[in-house]
Structure 1
Amino acid sequence: MHQELQQVFNFSITIREVIVNTLLATFCGGIISCFYILTFRGVGYSINLIRSIVMLSMITAFIMMVIGDNLAQAFGMVGILSIIQFRAAMKGAQDFMFLFFALAIGLSCGEGLYTVALAGCFLIGLITIGTAKVLASTKQRYFTLNVIRSATQSDRSQHRTVLSSFCKKYELISTKLSTKGNDSFIRFSYTIRMKNSEDSDSLVYALKAIEGVMEVNLLSEDE
């Protein structure tokens, strides 16, 4: 019984291994954060999530060093972690994927599998970047176009002429009549797919040049 208790509290890891494992986990967490920034396609990424990726790699490495091959400690750690909930706002599946990425690398660092940690970090990261670039090049970009013009000139034929020049596809989704003082205006809302997304400014200027158009707004639907 005494020997079994000694095994429960027996830690064979050295200070040097703790330092090396922690530094490697921190380095890999930083690399994973860089991969996350390079593959992010939204408006703005979360600094807190980037910090969480680095911290998760370090904490997971520490957990693995504490647990080691001790089954009793493993069950105890599972019980402690079961009451912890991750409350950061996730914007999509990619955020969860990078957290699991950091978790896996932290496990490797904590076990002292340095080659596995480094190879996995760079291999998964490079594949993720390559996949993101391929998908970005083939992705069809959709926009929401709002055209506000005077109610006295509500003919949409000029809209269709301009949209046909710049868009592969467009569809009118709503028409709204509003009044402000003695003036009335109509708001046309379209969903469009550009022939070339670089021509978005030209599309806006062409629509603004139409007589009676008061305002043009072009919003990307991509996240």
Structure 2
Amino acid sequence: MSPASVLGRLVVAVLLGAVVAWIYRKTRAEHVATFPATLVLLAVLIAMVTQVIGDSVARAFSLVGALSIVRFRTVVRDTQDTAFVIFAVVVGMACGASDPRVALIGIVVVGVAAFAMKPRGGDHGGQQYTLELRVSSGQVLDGEIAAVIDTFVTGRRLLTIGTARQGIALDGTYSVQLRAGQRPEDLVRALNRLEGIQNVTLAARPVDEPQG
């Protein structure tokens, strides 16, 4: 294989990998900043690997053995991110095998599917949030407050609880997931209407933040 042919395949992998990264940025509301660049690099690396292996079964097994030595500690926390990793791998394989038609057709089909299933504006369903409450010391978090929270969320987990303002207030922190069609501001307003509520803070949790 000539150097020009190798270079051409890698250049195509870079270009198509960039398209994969662009689709990812446009269809994912929140993501790790370095992940799109990782998708491009992954497509190029897989294209290189595909050319190195060629039709050699021995080389394929050697590569598996070499990669098994490397410890990958980064966990992909979202299933859609995993799908995009596979997307970049397949595009890279197609470029390395000198069959960019498969990559191009796949990009069109997967891109259309990704845009079609992209959450619409204002739909916060499924989004993870951290809810922080400050209530009067005489209030209980499991009573009316919990009932109001549960009307807006599908999951509620108490993370921390403690006293504040020299014991005259109680602070509670929850991990919550909004129901489809519910808006964060509606939950905040509903809680503020309750007696004894002193402060409400609702913050979206980054994708790469541990669940606790």
Task: Settle same-fold status: TM greater than 0.5.
Answer: yes
Rounded to whole Å, the distance in 1 between the matches of 2:140 and 2:94 is 65
Which amino acid counterpart does residue 99 of structure 2 have in structure 1? L
Assess, with a 3 A threshold, how the Cα gap between structure 1 residues 147 and 118 changes in structure 2: closer, same or farther: same
1:121 counterpart (89, 97, 107): 107
Q: Corresponding residue for 1:26?
A: 14
Rounded to whole Å, the distance in 2 between the matches of 1:151 and 1:197 is 29
**Deviation at residue 207 of structure 1 after TM alignment:** 5.1
**Deviation at residue 148 of structure 1 after TM alignment:** 2.5
1:45 counterpart (18, 25, 32): 32
Look up the SS of the partner of 1:133 in the other structure: coil
Unaligned runs of 5+ in 1: 1-12
Assess, with a 3 A threshold, how the Cα gap between structure 1 residues 139 and 18 changes in structure 2: closer, same or farther: same
**Deviation at residue 189 of structure 1 after TM alignment:** 7.1
Given that 1:61 and 1:106 are in contact with CA atoms closer than 8 Å, whether structure 2 keeps it comes out as yes
Bigger radius of gyration: 1
**Deviation at residue 24 of structure 1 after TM alignment:** 0.8
Rounded to whole Å, the distance in 2 between the matches of 1:102 and 1:143 is 30
Rounded to whole Å, the distance in 1 between the matches of 2:68 and 2:155 is 50
Look up the SS of the partner of 1:132 in the other structure: coil
TM-score (norm 2): 0.68
Assess, with a 3 A threshold, how the Cα gap between structure 1 residues 168 and 103 changes in structure 2: closer, same or farther: closer
Rounded to whole Å, the distance in 2 between the matches of 1:216 and 1:138 is 18
Higher-helix-fraction structure:
1
Which amino acid counterpart does residue 32 of structure 2 have in structure 1? Y
**Deviation at residue 41 of structure 1 after TM alignment:** 4.1
**Deviation at residue 23 of structure 1 after TM alignment:** 0.8
1:178 paired with 2:196, answer no
Assess, with a 3 A threshold, how the Cα gap between structure 1 residues 67 and 45 changes in structure 2: closer, same or farther: same
Given that 2:134 and 2:169 are in contact with CA atoms closer than 8 Å, whether structure 1 keeps it comes out as yes
Deviations 1:52-88, CA, capped at 9 Å, x for gaps: 2111211111122222223443343333333233333
1:217 paired with 2:177, answer no
TM-score (norm 1): 0.66
Counterpart mapping for 1:56-205 below 5 A: 56-133=42-119, 139=125, 145-151=131-137, 154=139, 178=163, 180-181=165-166, 184-187=168-171, 197-198=182-183, 200-201=184-185, 204=188
Assess, with a 3 A threshold, how the Cα gap between structure 1 residues 148 and 16 changes in structure 2: closer, same or farther: same
1:16 paired with 2:4, answer yes
Given that 1:145 and 1:192 are in contact with CA atoms closer than 8 Å, whether structure 2 keeps it comes out as no
Deviations 1:153-195, CA, capped at 9 Å, x for gaps: x599xx77xx59xx56799987x783644x6124577868579
Rounded to whole Å, the distance in 1 between the matches of 2:187 and 2:202 is 9
Q: How many residues align?
A: 201
Rounded to whole Å, the distance in 2 between the matches of 1:142 and 1:107 is 35
Given that 1:141 and 1:197 are in contact with CA atoms closer than 8 Å, whether structure 2 keeps it comes out as no
Look up the SS of the partner of 1:178 in the other structure: strand
Look up the SS of the partner of 1:215 in the other structure: strand
Assess, with a 3 A threshold, how the Cα gap between structure 1 residues 28 and 155 changes in structure 2: closer, same or farther: closer
Given that 2:10 and 2:95 are in contact with CA atoms closer than 8 Å, whether structure 1 keeps it comes out as yes
Which amino acid counterpart does residue 178 of structure 1 have in structure 2? T
Unaligned runs of 5+ in 2: 208-212
